[in-house]
Structure 1
Amino acid sequence: MTTPAKLAYAASDLDAIAAFEGRIVVFSGSEGKLDPAARRVNRLSKGALERLVASETFKKLSAGKAIDLAFPAGMAAEAVQVVKLERNASVELSRKAGAAIGKSAGKHNVMIHAPLMKQADEIALGALLRAYGFNDHKSKESPKAGDITVVVKEPETHSATAVDALAQGVFFTRDLVSEPANILTTTEFATRLEALSDLGVKVEVLEEDQLEALGMRTLLCVGQGSVSPSKVVIMQWNGGGEEAPFALVGKGVVFDTGGISLKPAAGMEDMTMDMGGAGVVSGVMKTLALRGAKANVVGLVGIVENMPSGNAIRPGDVVKSMKGDTVEIINTDAEGRLVLADVLWYAQERFKPTGLINLATLTGAIIVGLGHENAGVFSNDDTLCNAFLKSAEAEIEGAWRMPLGKAYDDMLKSQVADMRNSCGRAAGSITAAQFLKRFVKDETPWIHLDIAGVAEVKKETALSPKGATGWGVLALNRLIADNYEV
């Protein structure tokens, strides 16, 4: 991947501007006022910056957008980037402004002069997130990204470590989601998560014989058509607190053909992202460890591959879950809920969590309903749900609450088993959530996040290039920081 090599904060040194050889970033609001750094750039460039901010082009520029002065006279810089942004800009606009910087950074070192910007940390985060690129499998080596230095009034009040921890968690998620399935096999996925132990995360991998002994037959049946072994990885981070942990559970289907209920060929290559829920859980755990979160959190991911073969699960089969309920398999392409059912139950039985959130690229139906702007949010607890929605809004990660109810639950009835795993197209995302709810204990506050529309996108977003977004890492980290840290 391509990411900035290092983020740092520094005090203002106007005399260093002339000799800096990378990209220099300055800001100006709608009135065209110049701060000290911008005035120094203006003098060095013989008034070019002042002419730019007075131009109709700059006046018509949207907030958060930028214009380059390439190879400015009197300076060693490759370019001066002028960002239109007010000093008290919102978090969203500040991150978008940072993204404009990160997108154009390329291989160059970048110096962002933001001593008067109240949202300097948000600008830095936006720059980091947008400078990312996944190019690990391109034969032509991509240029390494340069460093990003943010000039602020009081560098000691800013933490590059804290901002970088957020970015690194998002990058970890994006990397996992972007990897092809022949690289990110179930074994390789588990290996990458085991590496989090270097950061202080306690990592445990349950193999197929252990899963069989636990009775995780709904999870195991999904992977039985693949030569890749199914696994459950448990990541524990306890930075403080003696009470039961908050739990995150992720669906980790490294590739999903649909099994015997084979998906159409068109677009099947995109099913490398069907482990997006597990990717987000992994990214959150990395961020918590990197920033030393004073919280007790456990992340569990069920890692399987859904393939057709002579040993694959079939429509009409009946499988018994770890909970003890039986499931009639109507459609083998409704496999994610089978994986989650066992892991959700195991998480509650072992850890007795104070709250529980699962994530999955679960249904195409949620994309029909919400497009690529919002994840679907389903919950049995208003307090937890409202806290998450508040966190998602604060982090500019779209999320929309969807309904649950008995009428939808009744649709799961089966003639031959306790329930069926698929109820057809009508309310498809809701019946999937109702299925999962059957594996959540009444006393456990729970949220199901259907992230099928937001985990990976076909065009770039404000903070990410086309492809994996890392949606959810920031919102879940904030939820934990605001509600579960001691």
Structure 2
Amino acid sequence: MARDLANAITITFGPLRAGGGGGDLVVFVGDDLALGDATLGLLGRTGADLVARAAGSERFKGRSLSALSLPAPAGVEAARLTVVGLGSEKDRAGLDWAKLGGFVAGKVSGRTARVALDWPGAAVTPENAAEFALGARLRAYSFDRYKSSKKPESDETGGTGLELLVTDPAAAKTAAAATDAVAEGVVIARDLINEPPNVLFPEEFARRAAELSSLGVEVEVLDLARLREIGMGALIAVAQGSAREPRVVVMRWNGGTPGEAPVALVGKGVVFDSGGVSIKSAGGMEDMKGDMGGAAAVVGTLHALATRKARANVIGAIGIVENMPDGASYRPSDIVTSLSGQTIEVINTDAEGRLVLADVLWYVQKTYSPKLMIDLATLTGAIIVALGQDLAGLFSNDDALAASITAAGEATAEKVWRMPLGPQFDKAIDSKFADMKNTGGRHGGAATAAAFIKRYVNDLPWAHLDIAGVGMSSSPSEINRSWGAGWGVRLLDRFVRDNHETKHETKAGAEGGAR
């Protein structure tokens, strides 16, 4: 399922010494314009003097993520020299290596370049170099498969080749194997989000998720007949207005200790959300092809974990539906019975994602007894009003789990902000006619949605990530120029890596295959 980025970018690792010739040479400076020792060896005194003179004439101050480009001086084995600023000592201490890699890839797009990962006082570890490569790969992504006429000049990273010059190329290459797996997972998630809904209908989404079996992931696809047999009444209600039947896909990666309870990741997969009978306004409805961003992130994460042979047991489950208006659609005032047996009064058919999550969460905890559950959903516009498009909303019943997710978000720059859960939000979804209603009104909309989902979580740690602001149509960044960001793959992979992987090496852990 992974799309090969080799046509867009190739990345290799080499030693920090002169040689190679041709193409660009990328070097780094701080706001003091000082060069690292290895960089001085690459440029020589003549080259170093040229950088200093050019910086003065061009008023280049070495600020963070700024660049100066000039013809390479005689004696330097390159056609062009690109000097990238890293800012102050404080900026360098908090350096986002993936962001830096994306910035450099953008600056040398369509060309070959050697990148000297060296500057005064820097300790460029193999892991730093791998994160740099990850950012460069993600910057290279574009989604143009439906353009009948592709213009190479419009592809900002077409044909880019980077050789990263580091002190230990072999160790950097080894470290990059894991980040390459994460990059593939992000690309898969972006592809899924960017696909049009006439292509990525529920059955096709399930088929693509099932391709994970080639990596050793155990995949089970539940069709409509099976969902009826199980009793997923809430999920089926959402789907019943569509000509496309729903699917639930369960993906199991068994790379950890045999018998250990798994981490469960659950994603909302509404492949198109018209709002149903409570139809959305026409303006912006085309964005609702991305209402499956949570499910896309879960599939991408399972791909990353399986590809890098993560020593952990992880289940990914996604509920895939299309929400459409039709004579068979569920209606406001309908009462549906969820898999848990709890009844739901439908107030608004556009509050559909929580119904999908309710049945899938209940199924996962009853069937697989996970140690914890994290769900991801492009759930509410209210979270965008509250947090904008740079933070996801985090709701959790467990402080330790919330802290671990927050830390993973800080490490990957996929940041979250914890939001409140409380009895006042739970009370807002009480119904006069059923056990609950599916919306608590405008006020506190993200929190009442989380309170609804919490009613389908038993006594285990759980977190809900409302990714409506970050999952699609997000602001362009140094590592993403795509409409679909693939948000959540990096965060979830890091969360599993830091908290739930077997730390000691065993034969089973090293092989990491499905059992």
Structure 1 residue 7: Cα displacement = 2.7
Contact 1:233 1:302 in 2 (8 A): yes
2:299 aligned residue: 282
Deviates more, 1:165-174 or 1:76-85: 76-85
2:159 aligned residue: 145
2:104 aligned residue: 101
Contact 2:40 2:48 in 1 (8 A): no
1:60-106 CA distance string (max 9 Å, x none): x4213222225776777564321112799245443332221122333
Structure 1 counterpart of 2:463, from 440, 447, 464: 447
Distance in 2 (CA, whole Å) between partners of 1:95 and 1:406 is 41
Q: Could you tell me which amino acid in structure 1 is paired with residue 65 of structure 2?
A: G
Describe how 1:62-461 pairs up with structure 2 within 5 A: 62-69=63-70, 77=78, 79-85=80-86, 89-90=92-93, 92-115=95-118, 117=122, 118=124, 119-141=128-150, 143=152, 144-158=158-172, 159-242=175-258, 243-441=260-458, 443-461=459-477
Structure 1 residue 411: Cα displacement = 0.9
Say if 1:85 and 1:336 are closer, same or farther in 2 by CA, change over 3 A. same
Q: Could you tell me which amino acid in structure 1 is paired with residue 468 of structure 2?
A: A
Which TM-score applies when normalising by structure 1? 0.93
Q: Could you tell me which amino acid in structure 1 is paired with residue 295 of structure 2?
A: A
Unpaired runs of 5+ residues, structure 1, are none
Distance in 2 (CA, whole Å) between partners of 1:325 and 1:38 is 69
Structure 2 residue matching 1:459: 3-state secondary structure:
coil
Say if 1:78 and 1:234 are closer, same or farther in 2 by CA, change over 3 A. farther
Say if 1:38 and 1:465 are closer, same or farther in 2 by CA, change over 3 A. farther
Deviates more, 1:141-150 or 1:228-237: 141-150
Contact 1:2 1:135 in 2 (8 A): no
Q: Could you tell me which amino acid in structure 2 is paired with residue 245 of structure 1?
A: P
Say if 1:381 and 1:162 are closer, same or farther in 2 by CA, change over 3 A. same
Q: Could you tell me which amino acid in structure 1 is paired with residue 171 of structure 2?
A: T
Distance in 2 (CA, whole Å) between partners of 1:54 and 1:155 is 34
Structure 1 residue 169: Cα displacement = 1.4
Which TM-score applies when normalising by structure 2? 0.88
- Number of equivalences: 481
1:285-342 CA distance string (max 9 Å, x none): 1111121110000000001100111111111111100000011111000000000000
Structure 1 residue 373: Cα displacement = 1.8
Distance in 1 (CA, whole Å) between partners of 2:10 and 2:106 is 16
Structure 1 residue 396: Cα displacement = 1.5
1:423-479 CA distance string (max 9 Å, x none): 2101100000000000000x2100000000011235312321152222221121111
Distance in 1 (CA, whole Å) between partners of 2:227 and 2:94 is 44
Distance in 1 (CA, whole Å) between partners of 2:147 and 2:257 is 45
Distance in 1 (CA, whole Å) between partners of 2:227 and 2:82 is 55
Distance in 1 (CA, whole Å) between partners of 2:409 and 2:282 is 34
Contact 2:105 2:160 in 1 (8 A): no
Structure 2 counterpart of 1:463, from 479, 485, 488: 479
Contact 2:129 2:176 in 1 (8 A): no
Contact 2:270 2:292 in 1 (8 A): yes
Structure 1 residue 122: Cα displacement = 2.9
Q: Could you tell me which amino acid in structure 1 is paired with residue 161 of structure 2?
A: D
1:389-443 CA distance string (max 9 Å, x none): 11111212221101111111111111111111012101100000000000000x2
Structure 1 residue matching 2:426: 3-state secondary structure:
helix
Say if 1:38 and 1:455 are closer, same or farther in 2 by CA, change over 3 A. farther
Structure 1 residue matching 2:203: 3-state secondary structure:
helix
Say if 1:209 and 1:71 are closer, same or farther in 2 by CA, change over 3 A. farther
Structure 1 residue 139: Cα displacement = 1.8
Structure 1 residue matching 2:191: 3-state secondary structure:
helix
Deviates more, 1:125-134 or 1:35-44: 35-44
Structure 1 residue 129: Cα displacement = 1.9
% same residue: 45
Structure 1 residue matching 2:333: 3-state secondary structure:
coil
1:30 aligned residue: 31
Contact 1:27 1:38 in 2 (8 A): no
Structure 2 counterpart of 1:57, from 41, 56, 59: 59
Contact 2:55 2:68 in 1 (8 A): no
Q: Could you tell me which amino acid in structure 1 is paired with residue 112 of structure 2?
A: N
1:160-201 CA distance string (max 9 Å, x none): 211211211111111111111112111221111111122221
When the two chains are superposed, the root-mean-square deviation of aligned CA atoms in Å is 2.2
